[in-house]
């Protein structure tokens, strides 16, 4: 009987792999098409789609350069913004969530409920109001307006709170207090190290969101030297009657690669144990 069980499992496994492969093909075809387009000329692209790469990669690259686009600068800008936003978001979300989880202060429930509600505000609309407000504060055209709002990211706090609730160990906190540590240093020295896996997960999502957030950066930043990579790529669409599609696709492909690398590097840290409060042993 052991033999047939084993075979049964193998058959199941076969079908699972088959299913996975089909899914991968569906997942990757559009990505492949995008990359292929990066190697084709504008005329080719305008006149159709192809599964096979063509020979215009270098041409497109030269076009990108000839437009005077400082791609490395745009890349650094995107990286800076995304990295800073991620760090700020993760840190302050953890901080706030810690406060909500560990301390029972008056208004705690209210604040938490308010935060849930904040998650639901539509972005596109508030952007104009946000811009005009930033203008009054004199913060337009500066990265501060993109990074600092990360301090009050309701969605991240939501996630962090659920996460902390499941991994929090009160005894450790008590022990820290016995040792005379201040509350803040308990947070930094005891809690944060335990929460690293969750922080990485939150961090990756925050990073991707910031990197791909074209719209906000676009409305708020005006000076070209401060453009993010997606914004630079968008300027290729500027010649209304003369889109250089080949170069655009190359640029798009180029802006995806860093993210993939970052994700690959950090994906091993994605926690294999987010239970968000369900499991208490």
Nearer to other proteins, 76 or 267 (CB): 267
For residue 33, the minimal CB distance to other proteins (Å) is 6
DSSP state of 150: G
DSSP state of 242: -
For residue 80, the minimal CB distance to other proteins (Å) is 15
Decide: 259 and 208 in contact? Cβ < 8 Å: yes
* SS3 per residue for 165-191: HHHCCHHHHHHHHHCCCCHHHHHHHHH
Cα 63 to Cα 69: distance, rounded to the nearest angstrom: 10
Nearer to other proteins, 75 or 131 (CB): 131
For residue 261, the minimal CB distance to other proteins (Å) is 11
For residue 281, the minimal CB distance to other proteins (Å) is 6
The interaxial angle of helices 245-266 and 192-212, nearest 10 deg, is 170
Q: CB-based burial of residue 265 (10 Å sphere; 0-12 exposed, 13-18 middle, 19+ buried)?
A: exposed
For residue 148, the minimal CB distance to other proteins (Å) is 6
Nearer to other proteins, 1 or 121 (CB): 121
Cα 32 to Cα 22: distance, rounded to the nearest angstrom: 15
DSSP state of 276: T
């Amino acid at each position: 009987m052991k033999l047939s069980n084993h075979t049964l499992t193998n058959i199941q496994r076969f079908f699972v792999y088959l299913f996975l492969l089909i899914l991968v093909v569906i997942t990757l075809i559009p990505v492949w098409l995008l990359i292929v387009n990066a190697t084709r000329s504008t005329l080719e692209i305008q006149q159709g789609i192809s599964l096979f790469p063509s020979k215009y990669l270098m041409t497109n690259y030269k076009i990108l350069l000839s437009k005077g686009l400082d791609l490395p600068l745009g890349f650094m800008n995107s990286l800076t913004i995304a990295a800073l936003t991620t760090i700020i978001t993760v840190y302050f979300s953890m901080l706030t969530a810690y406060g909500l989880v560990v301390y029972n202060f008056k208004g705690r429930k209210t604040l938490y409920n308010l935060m849930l509600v904040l998650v639901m505000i539509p972005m596109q609309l508030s952007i104009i109001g946000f811009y005009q407000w930033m203008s009054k504060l004199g913060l337009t055209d500066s990265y501060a307006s993109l990074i600092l709002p990360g301090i009050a990211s309701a969605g991240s706090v939501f996630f962090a709170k659920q996460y902390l609730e499941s991994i929090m160990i009160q005894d450790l906190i008590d022990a820290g207090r016995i040792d005379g540590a201040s509350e803040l240093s308990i947070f930094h020295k005891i809690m944060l190290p335990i929460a690293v896996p969750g922080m990485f997960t939150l961090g990756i999502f925050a990073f991707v969101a910031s990197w791909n957030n074209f719209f906000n950066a676009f409305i708020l930043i005006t000076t070209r030297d401060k453009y993010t990579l997606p914004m630079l790529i968008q300027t290729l669409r500027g010649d209304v009657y003369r889109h250089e599609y080949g170069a655009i696709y190359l640029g798009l492909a180029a802006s995806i690669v860093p993210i993939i690398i970052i994700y690959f590097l950090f994906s091993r840290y994605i926690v294999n144990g987010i239970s968000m409060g369900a499991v208490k042993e």
